Amino acid sequence: MHKSDVLIIGTGVAGLSTAIHLAMRRPTCSISLVSKTNKEECNTRYAQGGIAAVWDLKEDDLNKHIADTLDAGDDLCDEKIVRMVIEEGPQRVKEMISWGTRFDKSPNQEYDLAREGGHSEHRILHYKDVTGAEIERALLDKVAQLPNVRILEHYFAIDLLTQHHMGYNITRVMDNIECYGCYLLNLQNLKVETHLARITVLATGGSGQIYKSTTNPTIATGDGMAMMYRAKGHVENMEFVQFHPTSLYSAGGENPCFLVSEAVRGFGGILRTRRGEEFMHKYDERLSLAPRDIVARAIDSEMKLSGDEYVYLDCRHLAKEEFIQHFPNIYNKCMSVGIDPMTSMIPVVPAQHYMCGGVRIDEFGRTSIRHLYACGECTSSGLHGANRLASNSLLEGAVFGQRVASHVSECIDQIMLNEQIPEWDTTGTNDPKEMVLITQSIKELKDIMSYYVGIVRSNVRLKRAMDRLHLLYTETEELYNTSTLSPQLCELRNLITNGYLVTRSAGMRRESRGLHYTTDYPAKHPFLEDTLL
Ligand code: FAD
Ligand code: SIN
């Protein structure tokens, strides 16, 4: 049994920001950060475009960033939260810089601000096209200087500890569920360890791996949302799955798909059909820089009309040296697969990219379960509504990380450890005989979600998905109850839960809004409010 004052599950921008702020405010608090693989491996590390923050007050102002965020969110953002995040954003970015994060500057030593879809101004701070890796590096370096933070790598969080583990019956309508920490699977020896904490924070990232094509790394299996749902906490807005319009097309399929940043379109890249014709004017006056939901649907529609497997992103007219300077990672990747972006168009296709829904939180990252906070992509904070504005995600992780830390540091002294939690019980479990069953079920889940719950949905497709998910769920629960744990089995279980939550939420929304488009209700409903699970 392990004990910490605060247990933070996740070492991306959200988890690291929480740990840094908390450790600085409360140097005597013991803080454990958990990562299911290496501490660097997370969505944050792959972020390309950058972090949106109003920086140049001569050209930009907070209200414009707020308006762009609300517009992208299609009337489902919480305006109070949007204002709060955008107002606090520049301060969080300044802190990142003070902790050693580098952002590109132009020759006059001002920060070089990029523009992406849905933004009315240039306001994206970036480090070449590898901003996330730079932020992750700097935050990990900062954490390493804080003696009260330790990182547990290769520990897989399985389930949140609540009264359920002390034999009480817990239901979703109860408002006094408490969290006492987490069961963690030690991946070195495959033993489950009980980790007690006065406060637990979920910062587990997204769930892109429920789809066949995703830009998310393989760790993105929605574990936080699934643990929350199993613990009977509130999860919402899961129907709003963001597909990025431009991942690099690969005939054999790659997991993850390589992202071609929206910043490339901000830099002048133009979308064209395989016949070389522009098409975005048919869909939105902002052309290739319309918000992501519109561009992804436009590409999907063009591909369906033509039967093509991809469209093109044309960068041939852009200045070579500047392109390479801004996008070295994208340039090198294209060259490595035989595409010179300066002489050939880049084949691109939409891929799942971001989960707008998740664990419902308030302005301090508090969840519906006591002593449990959450921040980052695993949450539904009200910032993104029905569609996230580009580069608002790193910002959200940084702002909510600080807010969770400030609230926790105020209330932690009133919370005691609960030492009555029993150790994990392995009775009746054996090593699974056929691991291939797990791999096959993951493949089936991805097929179901991609064919029936993708960019365009319908009642018939959702019903079909639900029926098939039910079968997968039943088979997997049986396997789970009789098998010794493996990370693959835990991930399969979590993926199915996420697939179910997305499909069920999609079925409940009887309108098309933001990222949720259904042929049965093609229009936006004037009165429908957000649905809660
Ligand atoms: P993550 O960074 O994903 O971290 C999750 C952490 O949780 C990891 O440490 C993982 O090990 C841990 N974890 C998960 N489950 C478990 C478990 N069961 N047990 C233990 N640990 C667990 N956003 C922007 O704002 N700007 C961009 O330019 C941008 N570009 C992007 C490009 C790509 C290719 C991708 C994939 C995303 C991009 N995003 C961008 C989105 C953004 O990167 C993510 O939303 C954000 O980084 C999420 O941060 P996070 O801290 O919430 O989660
Ligand atoms: C990108 O660089 O296009 C991704 C930006 C984001 O996801 O916010």
Domain coordinates in residue numbering, the chain: 2-239+356-414, 248-350, 436-518
- CA distance linking residue 440 with residue 181, whole number of Å: 32
Cβ atoms of residues 200 and 160 within 8 Å? yes
Cβ atoms of residues 299 and 346 within 8 Å? no
- CA distance linking residue 4 with residue 301, whole number of Å: 51
Instruction: Provide the b/e sequence for 490-516 (b: ≥16 CB within 10 Å).
Output: bbbbbbbbbbbbbbbbbbebebbbbbb
What is the 89 CA–ligand 2 centroid distance (Å)? Answer: 17
Sorted by sequence, the CB contacts under 8 Å of residue 189 that are 6+ apart come out as: none
pLDDT one-digit tens code per residue, 430-454: 887 778 889 999 999 999 999 999 9
Mean pLDDT of the 303-329 span: 97
**pLDDT of the residue at 435:** 81
- CA distance linking residue 55 with residue 166, whole number of Å: 50
What is the 296 CA–ligand 1 centroid distance (Å)? Answer: 21
187 by Cβ neighbours in 10 Å (0-12 / 13-18 / 19+) ranks as middle
323 CB near ligand 1 (under 6 Å) = no
**CATH number assigned to the domain covering 248-350:** 3.90.700.10
Cis peptide before 256 (omega within 30 of 0): yes
259 CB near ligand 1 (under 6 Å) = yes
34 CB near ligand 1 (under 6 Å) = yes
**pLDDT of the residue at 508:** 97
Q: Which atom of ligand 2 is nearest to the CA of 242?
A: 7
Mean pLDDT of the 64-87 span: 97
Q: What is the CATH architecture assignment of 436-518?
A: Up-down Bundle (1.20)
pLDDT one-digit tens code per residue, 166-225: 999 999 999 999 999 999 999 999 999 999 999 999 999 999 999 999 999 999 999 999
Quickly name the fold that domain 2-239+356-414 has.
FAD/NAD(P)-binding domain (3.50.50)
Q: DSSP assignment of 149-193, as one string?
A: EEEEESEEEEEE--GGGGT----TT-S--B--EEEEEETTTTEEE
pLDDT one-digit tens code per residue, 496-510: 999 999 999 999 999
Mean pLDDT of the 119-128 span: 96
Torsion of CA 363, 364, 368, 370, to 10 degrees: -160
Q: Which residues are catalytic?
A: 292
What DSSP state is assigned to residue 433? Answer: S
Best residue among 130, 246, 262 to mutate for probing ligand 2, ranked by most atoms within 8 Å of CB: 262
Q: Which atom of ligand 1 is nearest to the CA of 224?
A: 15
13 CB near ligand 1 (under 6 Å) = yes
